[in-house]
Structure 1
């Protein structure tokens, strides 16, 4: 009887009135004490309105039932597959949708529906991986800013692969509270290439110059990322594995790691290239002049002529204490020590000596920048202290004599007074 009366009433009313009626019926279903028969009739009336020609009644149902665990499951599934104006409410909040339902809705839904799923609280790794693979740009941004989403590392890397050229996606990913080192390295790579392509397209730099700058910036970023990892850990090993797969492991990068004090990354690189255990690599690295280190070095595929350079770098790293360099920055004393050891005039070391000179230039310039920053900070503090109008308890400027006041004829030479006090 309830279904018949409700349907007869709804046929002669406007879409807005039907939406109000549906909302009232939905609230009665959720919060009033209905008899089982009345509840079944109410469900039938709500199911009938899933075919309403206007989205307003269906949106009203979605607003009432979206966050309720007591909503009719079939009704929730119907609303979840409706147009995005209706489905987004349910996809974002309903606890009745399983992971398989969300994945299916993401596969057939538009960008708004995918973004609604991406914003769900505590999103499971399976749904996150599905969205990373099939969702559009808007959903990728929504997923990246959802801190409660349990996004696996491989899904984050897949998002970088698909949307690495999009600045907003990169910004959203970098805004997350934590990112794996491999994802940060991947982002650094695509960002460096995007910036290089931009300046080259504007003809601000030549293509070779732009490529060199992109490469240097990427390697600097890799060292900074490595400095945030433990000395040698699973994350460092994962970073080395990513660098190998990405083709970024070169003798120059390995040498930069040592000259930045990133011994853990160098060990992880050797372990990745040789297949030896981390414990074995750590042992041979402690003895850089041993035959065991030479064998591991050769197995890694590094040039034999550069063995002396790596041995010198490891020896210098062992005997020199860290300075006040920034994390991940090149250490000037290490570079100078290696240059001194390798300054033999051997033609085979010509290229690596040129690389070391470039490293020395970078480290020197960075040291100069730090010194300038320190001087400027000291100047700001000094100026703040000098803003006081008192010097040795006396005013540094004479206040003009008020009209009518008595002129004593006494003039105070503050500069002479200061010199006299200092002399005393």
Structure 2
């Protein structure tokens, strides 16, 4: 061991190289450690392109194939940032178990885009996350990550400020954030988020992130809230006619009027309760649900219908909290609403935080300032 520890780059000779190559074929743990120290010193003495490079490549590959896990890990850490290591070895280490592969994936200058895409395809989810976190990640790899559509990998990518995420890729991430809640916070803070993209992202983020977007882009809250309603207006053009409930059909005005009178009668008798909302949905009386929610919250019926057709569930959540629906009940209520309304609201996101009924009512009215005409 002492002979290897005293090895100096300037003293590299054919005998030294032959001795190291012999160690590479030994299975003794002590020999492998001696080999690791000797190879590290020899690498410093052999710049790329030298006559020793092929020999070093053979030593490296032999070591990686035969070495114990701890030796491969030390080797990966030593070679992660160098440009003279054999590319075949670097690719081998990048496909090793994640603790060995991670430093190489994150730092090796020898890994090309095609190598990183191979890691995405052939390795574990942890390897994919490491690729997404790699500094200065290239556009081809960014597109490959988004194409795969893996939530945690795209979230790691959105947190990588140095990745080459172009406008098209950024728009795709914003669109994915409609269904992947974890994407929303890193996208809100991303330096390449444009004002136009922020308006789209605003439609399905929670209250705290809306405030962050508003502060960053200095956009009036009314303009941001209007984005939600604009999307609801566009969705309502085709979707509302597909809702299979009688109250949704213009020709069934008599049924709507009957339901309105029922709600008013219950209110006058002091019998109008939030429980009616759940019962109406269970009895498949969707028009009664809308009428009751509007009267309970003193909301406009158009506002309630806009909340039902919104691209996010948060307006409906706020309206329900405002009239006294328990937060624990809302998920099942939302599922019933979506079954009756052709899949609307657009997703399951809402900010399930403690909020008073009065505060929820104010937030709902502000969000629904521009209801569509029904």
Q: State which structure, 1 or 2, has the greater radius of gyration over its C-alpha atoms.
A: 1
Q: TM-score range by the shorter chain?
A: 0.3 to 0.5
Q: Answer 1 or 2: higher relative contact order, Cα 8 Å, separation at least 6.
A: 2
TM-score (structure 2 length as normaliser): 0.48
